[in-house]
Amino acid sequence: MTPRSIRLLAATAAAILATTALAACGGDSEGSGAAATKLRLGYFPNITHAPALVGVQNGIFAEKLGDTTLETTTFNAGPSAIEALFSGAIDATYIGPNPAINGWAQSKGSALHVIAGTTSGGAALVVKPEITSVQDLRGKKIATPQLGNTQDVALRYWLKQQGLNADTQGGGDVSILPTPNSEIITGYGSGALDGAWVPEPHLSRLIIEHGAKVLKDEKEEWPGGEFVTTHLIVSKKFLDANPETVKKLLEGHIAAVDYVNTNRDAAATAANEHLKALSGSALKDDILAASFANLTFTVDPIAPSLYGSAKHAEEVGLLDPVDLAGIYHLGPLNELLKAGGKPEVSGEGTAS
């Protein structure tokens, strides 16, 4: 493994060493095709995970899982969710594309599968109003949620395409500062940051509450404006041992996405109520409305953008070349979609 892989994936390396020892605990499966006694699901307290928030809040997952008990855990960053999946602490999780790619690479394709898409869009580079062009970013401090996360890769790749460099220590033409989302809001408001490449609802908060403006909307960088922001992954061990339970999870996932798309106002309210239950505070009505309007919820994993994100991470030195063949396991999802008269989805795609 090269130094750049170690730099990005050190946290998950230790977890993989524990996977064999702990995997037997995953889901309390009998390994005979019977439903697992429980399913441990991860997700983020973030509006980009709205189907997960609504699915838990409204009892959609619990209903579809039947006798299988749902246990939930929330995470603030993708690498910690991957570590939990590898260690056997959770069985499945909603997560962004780049942490899933990193986990696939670190485990050499042995630990996880993407089983459905969840959310597209809702990420952009916002800056101070006086910054009017990419060249104005020279010498500026721009935040991303975490080194190597989806938005961090997107920013580094876009800057490289514009002829600007940024290293992982915060140096270069543009100083990229990986910063937790909550601290990005504070840092921008205090003037310590000149901008940030962030997902919703932090994107709308910076615009509405702090007067930031969009310099680059990420959807402009992808064909058709579609790119994966969140998808659903599952532990391969859990999938192999409990295929029927995973199918029930997917039934809940499809139902949650359908609910969000057909009941946007009610879904936004339910998601916000769940955010309040998790964090103690809800999004303001204008932030909630703006965030929801900027997101597309779909079970399509938008595979071409995943392959593209991997290539982008390679090009900015955050990932060694990785073969993603087999990362998608969409058979169960497509079986359910076909039975429901819905169009099937594909895991095929090429980097853009």
320 contacts 105 by C-beta, under 8 angstroms: yes
Instruction: Give pLDDT, residue 76.
Output: 82
Q: What string of pLDDT tens digits covers the 352 residues of the chain? A: 443 443 444 444 444 433 333 343 444 444 445 789 999 999 999 999 999 999 999 999 999 999 999 999 999 888 889 999 999 999 999 999 989 999 999 999 999 999 999 999 999 999 999 999 999 999 999 999 989 888 999 999 999 999 999 999 999 999 999 998 889 999 999 999 999 999 999 999 999 999 999 999 999 999 999 999 999 999 999 999 999 999 999 999 999 999 999 999 999 999 999 999 998 999 999 999 999 999 999 999 999 999 999 999 999 999 999 999 999 999 999 999 999 999 999 998 754 3
Give the HSE-up count for residue 242: Cα atoms under 13 Å, Cβ half-sphere. 27
Please give the C-alpha separations between residue 227 and each of 1, 248, 342, in angstroms, as whole numbers.
Answer: 29, 26, 21
Domains of the chain, CATH where assigned: 3-122+226-339 (3.40.190.10), 123-225 (3.40.190.10)
pLDDT for the residue numbered 33: 56
**Helices 303-315, 97-106: crossing angle, 10 deg rounding:** 70
Residues contacting residue 219 through CB under 8 Å, at least 6 positions apart? 121, 225, 226, 227
Read off the DSSP letter of residue 237. H
**Strand pairing report for 295-297 and 92-95:** unpaired
Nearest by Cα to 85 from 62, 68, 107 = 107
**Within 13 Å and on the Cβ side, how many CA atoms surround 147?**
19
For residues 178 and 25, the answer to whether their CB atoms sit within 8 Å is no
